[in-house]
Amino acid sequence: MSKLLVAIIASITACSAALAQGGNTDNEFLKYGYPGPESDFLLRSRYAASYNRALRNPNWVAEHLTRDNLNGTADRSNADFKEDPAIPVAFRALLKDYYRSGFDRGHMCPAADAKKDLDSMKETFILTNIAPQVGAGFNRNYWAYLEKFVRDLTATFDDVYCISGPLYLPTKEGDKWFVKYQVIGNPPNVAVPTHFFKAILAKNSADAMFALGAFALPNEAIDNSTPLTEFDIPIESVEKAAGLSFFNKVDHNTETIVPLCTATTCSLR
């Protein structure tokens, strides 16, 4: 699985919504305005996010997890999914888009990572932190187990940084490659990602070493017995597929970087 995924990612050109806002309009071509794309940057209590207006999904959602900030008693039964008023109506993901779609509303920053207080937890239910996920076998199972794996890393590391998001990867039909994904809503509004990723950087305060890793999973039911290492791929492969750059303030090519799955056991418990 992982070798095939790396090969698919390596075969496509990096692409994602541009993160630059505003643009330089001091020229004759943009005299009457910059068309975009715009990046909606969202800073919340337990995460930061970038939202893609065309796909109505996050580009990425970033978290910082520690033993302390995972503590709390907030109950998700007191939180409801809601649309994001920070996004212009024309570009919002809507609650009705998910209604009878056959997909779960999948968290990028999990609710369980925001137990410190109810307001923080409620922010994880805003649709700019959500993307359509297969329910049984993925969102409710394997993806949830991966979320717990990330939380459990705080037992080994003082600081865990995790960036999660969707991918739209090609499949081969005959001798050609195609990117195909469903769009939910009536009228169609929200893209259904083909895959999801988590990029992880972990560190202990007293140690100069960083543990770095990435996982990319297909948006489909995954057998619980499938080893997590099946989805462990080079972080550069995810960067190329998503058009993103992860943890670029850390030199990925120095001796202070060790693979996450070398620094700890990558398995779901």
Report residue 233 as tokens: 């791929």
Which listed residue (64, 107, 195, 252) is catalytic?
107
Instruction: Report the alpha-carbon distance of residue 220 to residue 225 in Å, rounded.
Output: 15
CA distances from residue 210 to 48, 81, 150, 207, 253 in whole angstroms, order as listed: 21, 35, 15, 8, 11
Pairing between strand 257-259 and 210-218? parallel
Instruction: Report the alpha-carbon distance of residue 109 to residue 171 in Å, rounded.
Output: 28
Cα-Cα-Cα-Cα dihedral of 106, 171, 233, 142, to 10°? 30
Instruction: Report the alpha-carbon distance of residue 140 to residue 62 in Å, rounded.
Output: 21
97 Cβ partners below 8 Å, 6+ apart? 56, 184, 185, 186, 189, 190
DSSP state of 138: I
The burial of 90, by beta-carbon neighbours within 10 Å (0-12 exposed, 13-18 middle, 19 or more buried), is given as exposed
Tell whether the torsion through CA atoms of 126, 130, 132 and 138 is positive or negative. negative
CA distances from residue 193 to 138, 156, 190 in whole angstroms, order as listed: 13, 31, 9
The burial of 198, by beta-carbon neighbours within 10 Å (0-12 exposed, 13-18 middle, 19 or more buried), is given as buried
Angle between helices 2-10 and 235-242 (to 10 degrees): 40
Is 107 catalytic? The answer is yes
Catalytic residues: 107
